[in-house]
Amino acid sequence: MKLFFVLVLNTVLLTNVCAQNVIKIHQNAIVIDTHGDILFNQIKSGIDIGKLQPKGNFDLVRAKKGGLDVQFFSIWCDETGGYALANREIDSLYNLIKRYPKQIQLVTTAADLEQAVKAQKLAAMIGVEGGHMIENRLDYIDSLAKRGMAYLTLTWNNSTGWSSSAADETSGKVKPENAGLNSLGKQVVKRLNKLGVMVDLSHVGEKTFFDAIKASSKPVLVSHSCAYSLNPVSRNLKDEQIKAIGKNGGVVSFNFYSGFLDSTFSTKQKVFFSKYDEELKALSAKYGRSNAIDTLISNHQADADATRPPISLLVKHINHVVKLIGINHVGLGADFDGAESFPLGMNSVADYPKITAELIKNGYSETDIKKILGENVIRLIRENKGS
């Protein structure tokens, strides 16, 4: 049971749902988020995510409020960064843990994870988002694993010299004959398997995806993606890929980003941007595009909210994968602090109980909800570590 648990529930979501049942199930589950992008922002802005923050989607206060037990902290940079920046972000996580040792603990195994949860601490795990950060060196994989890397995402949007991304495969930047994993890429997968580091296949192209599934001797993770059949964007998984995950024994963790969940979001967002075009241009010139979008949204919250899908759409994506490959292969990977829009009501890690409420509304049992919220990922960690 989690002490000091504070439940924030949207009354709309609780129609025909027993609030006490939601509390009970959510408290008794181990809740795991396999992808959060806060560390890059932490080193860029110097914010202290141990304290409640007025902006962003994550801090230790809201994690406790939402009953979040395990956070995979994404180590991310675009193609202009590399191994050194990855280590700076890991340093920032280590420093956070040093400042708040009673609230957060680094873990690398399923046993350590369960011990941290029992001790009422947030279990921190590390996911390195982008194979470019190993700089084509297998020894850098070893070094990152020693620092706590629990998974490596083979590509971000940019391809590497040994693996092609979904963005580059679909745009034609990488020709079909050059797509997938080359010999070094297969060595990367084998090294990850040997070290017990999960192979993460979010962001990778289809050819890379199937090459990696074939090369891996252990079940893989898809840390933050959704279902292509419900929203055909290149970052989502086609049914053939989902079925391959099932056969491999892996887990698909669902991304909360509105653009991956909702096939109508892109059009609605363009209308929103068009309505405030001059303001967006001025904000972009002052703050840069990404910060400008965040500011524009906060300036016109009601209009921005009208573009956001309901939480029920997230659960529809979960339902789709469960029907294809079963309950043992799904998890949650929010992509908080890595996108500008999430389902209505999902504003931060404090809102995780709302997903539990929606799963109950969809008829999932307590046993199945516990698997979705975290047990499937714990099983995956254990199978990759070999214990």
Chain segment 349-359, per-residue pLDDT in tens: 999 999 999 99
Quick check: 296 pLDDT over 50?
yes
Give 1's pLDDT tier (boundaries 50, 70, 90). Answer: very low
Same domain, 154 and 298: no
Structural domains in the chain (count) = 2
Same domain, 293 and 149: no
Digit-coded pLDDT (tens) for 77-89: 999 999 999 999 9
Only one residue has tokens 């999960």, namely 198
In a 3-state reduction of DSSP, which class is residue 362?
Answer: coil
The pLDDT of residue 19 is 75
Quick check: 124 pLDDT over 80?
yes
Who wins on pLDDT, 6 or 35? 35
Examine residue 243 and state whether it is found in any structural domain, yes or no: yes
Digit-coded pLDDT (tens) for 155-202: 999 999 999 999 999 999 999 999 999 999 999 999 999 999 999 999
Examine residue 10 and state whether it is found in any structural domain, yes or no: no
From CA 294, how far away is CA 56, in angstroms rounded?
A: 10
Quick check: 8 pLDDT over 50?
no
Give 329's pLDDT tier (boundaries 50, 70, 90). Answer: very high
Same domain, 105 and 44: yes
The pLDDT of residue 18 is 66
Domain that holds residue 167: 19-262+312-385
pTM: 0.94
Phi-psi region of 238 (alpha: psi -120 to 50; beta: other; left: phi over 0): beta
Percent of the chain predicted with pLDDT > 90: 91
Give 290's pLDDT tier (boundaries 50, 70, 90). Answer: confident
Same domain, 172 and 58: yes
Closest to 228 (Cα-Cα) out of 326, 103, 321, 124: 321
Same domain, 326 and 231: yes
Please state the rounded mean pLDDT for residues 328-339.
97
In this structure, what token pair is assigned to residue 93? 């996580």
Same domain, 204 and 294: no
Kindly calculate the radius of gyration of the chain based on its CA atoms and give it in whole angstroms: 20
Closest to 162 (Cα-Cα) out of 144, 135, 140, 141: 135
From CA 158, how far away is CA 165, in angstroms rounded?
A: 6
Percent of the chain predicted with pLDDT > 70: 95
From CA 255, how far away is CA 341, in angstroms rounded?
A: 11
The CATH number of whichever domain residue 157 belongs to comes to: 3.20.20.140
Give 9's pLDDT tier (boundaries 50, 70, 90). Answer: very low
Same domain, 201 and 87: yes
Examine residue 3 and state whether it is found in any structural domain, yes or no: no
Examine residue 302 and state whether it is found in any structural domain, yes or no: yes
